[in-house]
């Protein structure tokens, strides 16, 4: 075991897979010699060579096409999109192409691609860096969307994502990169994609979250506990496909739920979760399922992040609203 | 200092070997093909012209679905394909079904693709090609990746892709060539300039005098070819292939060609935007007419032989349509089964739902 930040756990997972499988190739803007703008790929080009870890021209669509083409030749591409706000440039390669390849070829061509990309607010980035656009990806059949919330999950999920034979969008929250350390096994291990994690058991209300909102929910749960409310916290880990079973099981037990996301109310995946709960567990509900989200504006200017981004206080308030319904 | 467009365009003269009368005008570049190979080329072009005629008819009868006519582009499509090897990887656009067929896609599967059946996208083992691309330009960025993959494997193979004149305005067209150039990847980019993107003439796509000169922006080789001259297209592609497998990087080939038919069979009417004069001007450049003259002058082609090809084409098309008719209808459970290697929760559930529905 070692104490690692999430970014170190990610680098470690990439190293494990580069070592394990000679078909794994890493590429993107400044991921080679520079080691990535966040140092996620630091030292990997030195260790594995320019043939395995390399820089590309500055063009996201080209990077997506490169990944697709390499996949047809038996490679296992792990491209990086520098910030997920830039995904619009590569939407066709992702949603229009790699997500559909297995289907359009009648299950004869698959795309074992893991697209890594940072996102998320709270670190005062310039425009189009922090936007939560996972909802766009979650709506595309053929993709899986993974969002780890801690170093341990980050490593196990990334190894699973790379080994998956279908395209995975792996989103890394920038605020979580170095904000805390965790015990992470040095050896390889995997965490199954599509499986949520019950981070905290509770009996009164279920808080369903992902990304940076997991920590906020944990903090909220502690405060709620002080007032005698026992909150169960579910970290989705994979937001597409959803682990509906785990969610519904928890809600049936607690009878109340709040879905928490950093994305705007019209975005993200909270609405999908609410819909699944009401279809499958309405007779168990003591109160409507409520959502904690950002307001439906364009992502905040850096100086307004503090008042704009949802936080643990919003979660406590919403949970109390559900408790007192 | 004024950088003149003329000087740039001067570097991209039209490469031609056979003129409209079927006479060799560029002896030096004449490919060394055997009589059988010359005849094979003609056979493919005649066959493909018949395939186009029959496809249009079958589409009108409702026995085919999406179809983008190819008549006029035989030299461009088949001359370029003839320069490839079986192991080369093809990334066709939606009009490039003929190349796929000559690369090994069975005819009945091409018909299934037209109708909209997943089996049409299942390439047989050993046929290195992608399903025709509907998103104009996407095949270009993917080609850079396929070619880089070949380079990394140390293989002597190339990736070949096609787009039209309109497609050269896309970002992916430029990115694809630029990536392939930056990686010195063995790719051949073919822009089939048939002068119209649906109703929009090439002059409204760009002020550039040639499309071949767009290679300059990527720092790669570019060549403009008479796309109605099958030998010129063959030689240009062959040379591009040689350069590519020798590690000299990609090439952009512009073929000047024409489609005699509409853009697609989905209601496009070319009389709205093309003049009769323009149509007849290009009909005189018909690639079949000039190559037929060339072969007849050599004494290796006859009307009889051509009729044999035509009859064979018609019979094979008939048989292929029949075979396509016999392919089982698609079920939702098939479509679900083709989504992932392992079905996620939601699809497992939907699979059960549709299994129950289908068993009723």
pLDDT digits (tens, 9 = 90+) for B99-157: 999 999 999 999 999 999 999 999 999 999 999 999 999 999 999 999 999 999 999 99
Distance from CA of A234 to the nearest CA of B (A): 17
**Residue A56 pLDDT > 90, yes or no?**
yes
CB A247 within 8 A of CB B346: no
Cβ of residue A58 closer than 8 Å to a chain B Cβ: no
Q: Which residues of B touch A65 (CB under 8 A)?
A: 138, 140-145, 172, 175-176, 179
Among B130, B141, B345, the residue with its CB nearest the CB of A93 is B141
Give burial (CB, 10 Å; 0-12/13-18/19+) of A186. Answer: exposed
Q: Over 60: is that where the pLDDT of B1 sits?
A: no
Q: Where are the domains of chain A?
A: 2-184, 197-324
The burial of B201, by beta-carbon neighbours within 10 Å (0-12 exposed, 13-18 middle, 19 or more buried), is given as middle
A75 contacts B346? CB cut-off 8 A: no
Please state whether the peptide bond connecting residue A241 to the residue before it is cis, i.e. omega within 30 degrees of 0: yes
Q: What is the pLDDT of residues B295-304, one digit of tens each?
A: 999 999 999 9
Interface predicted TM-score (ipTM) of this complex, two decimals: 0.97
Rounded distance, CA B294 to CA B317, Å? 28
Please count the residues of chain A: 325
Is A97 within 8 Å of B142 when comparing Cβ atoms? yes
| Residue A180 burial (10 A CB sphere; 0-12, 13-18, 19+) | exposed
Chain segment A183-232, per-residue pLDDT in tens: 999 999 999 999 999 999 999 999 999 999 999 999 999 999 999 999 99
Sheet holding A290-294, edge to edge: A197-200, A231-235, A205-209, A257-264, A290-294
User: Residue B2 has what pLDDT?
Assistant: 58
Q: Chain A contact for B172, CB < 8 A?
A: yes
Q: A317: buried, middle or exposed (CB in 10 Å: 19+, 13-18, 0-12)?
A: middle
Set of chain A residues whose Cβ sits within 8 Å of the Cβ of B142 = 65, 68-69, 72, 97
Among the listed residues B215, B145, B233, the one whose alpha carbon sits nearest the alpha carbon of residue B186: B145
Query: What residues contact B177, with CB distance under 8 A and at least 6 apart?
Result: B140, B144, B187, B189, B214, B215, B217, B218, B220, B250, B252
Residue A84, SS3?
A: helix
- Out of A57, A73, A165, whose CB is closest to B182? A57
When scoring B139, B141, B188, B330 by the number of chain A Cβ atoms within 10 A, the one with the most, hence best to mutate, is B141
Q: Considering only residues 242 to 271 of chain A, which have any Cβ-Cβ distance to chain B shorter than 8 Å?
A: 242-245
User: In the predicted model, is pLDDT for residue A142 greater than 80?
Assistant: yes
Of B259, B274, B290, B292, the catalytic one is B259
B123 at interface of A, judged by CB pairs closer than 8 A: yes
CA–CA separation, B292 vs B313, rounded Å? 18
Is A129 a residue of the active site? yes
Closest residue of chain B to A56, computed from CA coordinates: B179
pLDDT digits (tens, 9 = 90+) for B56-78: 999 999 999 999 999 999 999 99
pLDDT in tens, B155-202: 999 999 999 999 999 999 999 999 999 999 999 999 999 999 999 999
Over range A149-153, report the average pLDDT: 98
Residue A247 has a pLDDT of 98
Cα gap B136→B119, rounded to integer Å:
23
Please state the rounded mean pLDDT for residues B3-15: 85
With helix as H, strand as E and coil as C, how does A243-309 read?
Answer: CHHHHHHHHHHHCCEEEEEEEECCCCCHHHHHHHHHHHHHHHCCCCCEEEEECCCCCCCHHHHHHHC
Size of interface A-B (CB pairs under 8 A): 136
pLDDT digits (tens, 9 = 90+) for B322-356: 999 999 999 999 999 999 999 999 999 999 999 99
With contact defined as beta carbons under 8 Å apart, do B237 and B79 qualify?
yes
Helix, strand, coil % over all residues of chain B, rounded to 5: 50, 10, 35
Domains of chain B (ranges; CATH) run 2-329 (3.40.50.970), 331-359 (no CATH)
Which pLDDT belongs to residue B171?
A: 98
State pLDDT tens for residues B201-238. Answer: 999 999 999 999 999 999 999 999 999 999 999 999 99
**Averaged pLDDT, A52-78:** 98
Half-sphere exposure of B304 (CA within 13 A, CB side): 2
DSSP B166: G
Of residues A66, A73, A244, nearest to B141 (C-beta): A66
DSSP state of B183: T
Taking the Cβ of residue A28 and every Cβ of chain B, the question of whether any pair is shorter than 8 Å is answered with no
- Residue pLDDT, tens place only, A275-322: 999 999 999 999 999 999 999 999 999 999 999 999 999 999 999 999
Indicate if the pLDDT at residue B4 is higher than 80. Answer: no
Report the pLDDT value the prediction gives residue B7, as an integer from 0 to 100.
84
A227 vs B: CB within 8 A:
no
CA A72/CA A68 separation, integer angstroms? 7
At residue B9, the pLDDT reads: 86
Please report the residues numbered 67 through 96 in chain A whose beta carbons come closer than 8 angstroms to any beta carbon of chain B: 67-75, 92-93, 96
Residue with tokens 């992902």: A210
What class has domain A197-324? alpha beta
Distance from CA of B175 to the nearest CA of A (A): 6
* Confidence (pLDDT) at B3: 64
Contact partners, residue B193, CB within 8 Å, separation at least 6: B164, B165, B202, B211, B227, B254, B255, B256, B257
Q: Determine the residue among B340, B346, B353 to mutate to test chain A binding: the one whose Cβ has the most chain A Cβ atoms within 10 Å.
A: B340
Asked whether this chain's domains A2-184 and A197-324 adopt the same fold, the reply is yes
Angle ∠(B121,B127,B128) on CA atoms, nearest 5? 90
CATH topology of domain A2-184: Rossmann fold (3.40.50)
> Per DSSP, what are the bridge partners of residue A198?
A234
Does B259 participate in catalysis according to the annotation?
A: yes
Whether B65 contacts chain A with CB within 8 A: no
Q: For chain A, say whether B104 makes contact (Cβ under 8 Å).
A: no
- Angstroms from B41 CA to nearest CA on chain A: 29
Sign for the CA dihedral angle at B333, B335, B341, B347 comes to negative
DSSP state of B77: I
B130 contact A CB<8A: yes
A42: helix, coil or strand? coil
């Amino acid at each position: 075991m070692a104490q690692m930040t999430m970014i170190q756990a990610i680098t470690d997972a990439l190293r494990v897979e580069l070592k394990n499988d000679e078909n794994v190739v890493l590429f993107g803007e400044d991921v080679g010699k520079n080691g990535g703008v966040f140092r996620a790929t630091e030292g990997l080009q030195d260790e594995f060579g320019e043939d395995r870890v390399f820089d590309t021209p500055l063009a996201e669509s080209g990077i997506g096409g490169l990944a697709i083409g390499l996949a047809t030749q038996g490679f296992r591409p792990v491209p990086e999109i520098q910030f997920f706000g830039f995904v619009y440039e590569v939407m066709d390669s992702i949603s229009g192409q790699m997500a559909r390849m297995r289907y359009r070829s009648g299950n004869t061509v698959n795309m074992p691609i893991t697209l890594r990309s940072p996102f998320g607010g709270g670190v005062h980035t310039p425009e189009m860096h922090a936007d939560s656009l996972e909802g766009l990806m979650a709506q595309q059949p053929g993709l899986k969307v993974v969002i780890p919330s801690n170093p341990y999950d980050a490593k196990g999920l990334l190894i699973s994502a790379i080994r998956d034979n279908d395209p995975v969008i792996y989103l890394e929250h920038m605020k979580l990169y170095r904000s805390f350390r965790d015990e992470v096994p040095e050896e390889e291990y995997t965490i199954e994609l599509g499986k949520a994690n019950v981070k905290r058991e509770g009996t009164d209300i279920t808080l369903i979250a992902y990304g940076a909102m997991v920590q906020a929910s944990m903090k909220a749960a502690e405060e709620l506990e002080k007032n005698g409310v026992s909150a169960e916290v579910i970290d989705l880990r994979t937001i597409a496909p959803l682990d509906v079973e785990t969610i519904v099981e928890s809600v049936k037990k607690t009878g109340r739920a709040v879905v928490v996301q950093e994305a705007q109310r019209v975005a993200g995946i909270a609405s999908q979760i609410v819909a699944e709960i009401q279809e499958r567990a309405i007779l168990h509900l003591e109160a409507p399922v409520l959502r904690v989200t950002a307001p439906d504006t364009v992502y905040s200017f850096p100086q307004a992040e503090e008042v704009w981004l949802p936080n643990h206080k919003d979660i406590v308030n919403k949970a109390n609203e559900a408790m007192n319904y | 200092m004024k950088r003149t467009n003329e000087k740039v365009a001067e570097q991209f003269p039209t490469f031609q070997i056979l003129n409209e009368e079927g006479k060799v005008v560029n002896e030096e570049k004449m490919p060394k093909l055997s009589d059988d190979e010359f005849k094979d080329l003609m056979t493919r072009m005649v066959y493909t012209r018949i395939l186009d005629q029959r496809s249009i008819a079958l589409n009108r009868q409702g026995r085919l679905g999406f179809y983008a006519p190819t008549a006029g582009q035989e030299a461009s499509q088949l001359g370029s394909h003839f320069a490839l090897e079986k192991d080369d990887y093809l990334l066709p656009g939606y009009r490039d079904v003929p190349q796929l067929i000559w690369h090994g896609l069975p005819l009945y599967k091409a018909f299934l693709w037209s109708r909209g059946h997943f089996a049409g996208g299942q390439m047989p083992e050993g046929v290195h090609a992608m399903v025709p691309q509907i998103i104009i330009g996407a095949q270009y960025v993917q080609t850079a990746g396929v070619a880089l993959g070949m380079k990394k494997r140390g293989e002597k193979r190339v990736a070949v892709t096609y787009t039209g004149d309109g497609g050269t305005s896309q970002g992916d067209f430029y990115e694809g060539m630029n990536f392939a150039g930056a990686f010195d990847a063995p790719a051949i980019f073919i822009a089939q300039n048939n002068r119209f993107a649906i109703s929009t003439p090439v002059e409204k796509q760009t002020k550039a005098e040639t499309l071949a000169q767009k290679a300059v922006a990527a720092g790669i080789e570019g060549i403009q070819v008479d796309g109605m001259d099958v030998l010129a297209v063959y030689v240009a592609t062959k040379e591009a292939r040689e350069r590519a497998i020798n590690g000299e990087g990609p090439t952009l080939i512009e073929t000047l060609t024409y489609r005699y038919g509409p853009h697609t069979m989905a209601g496009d009417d070319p009389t709205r935007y093309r003049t009769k004069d323009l149509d007849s001007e290009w009909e005189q450049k018909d690639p079949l007419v000039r190559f037929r003259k060339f072969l007849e002058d050599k004494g290796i082609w006859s009307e009889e032989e051509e009729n044999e090809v035509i009859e064979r084409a018609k019979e094979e098309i008939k048989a292929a349509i029949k075979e396509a008719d016999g392919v089982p209808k698609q079920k939702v459970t098939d479509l679900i089964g083709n989504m992932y290697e392992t079905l996620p929760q939601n699809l497992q559930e939907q699979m059960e739902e549709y299994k129950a529905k289908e068993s009723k």
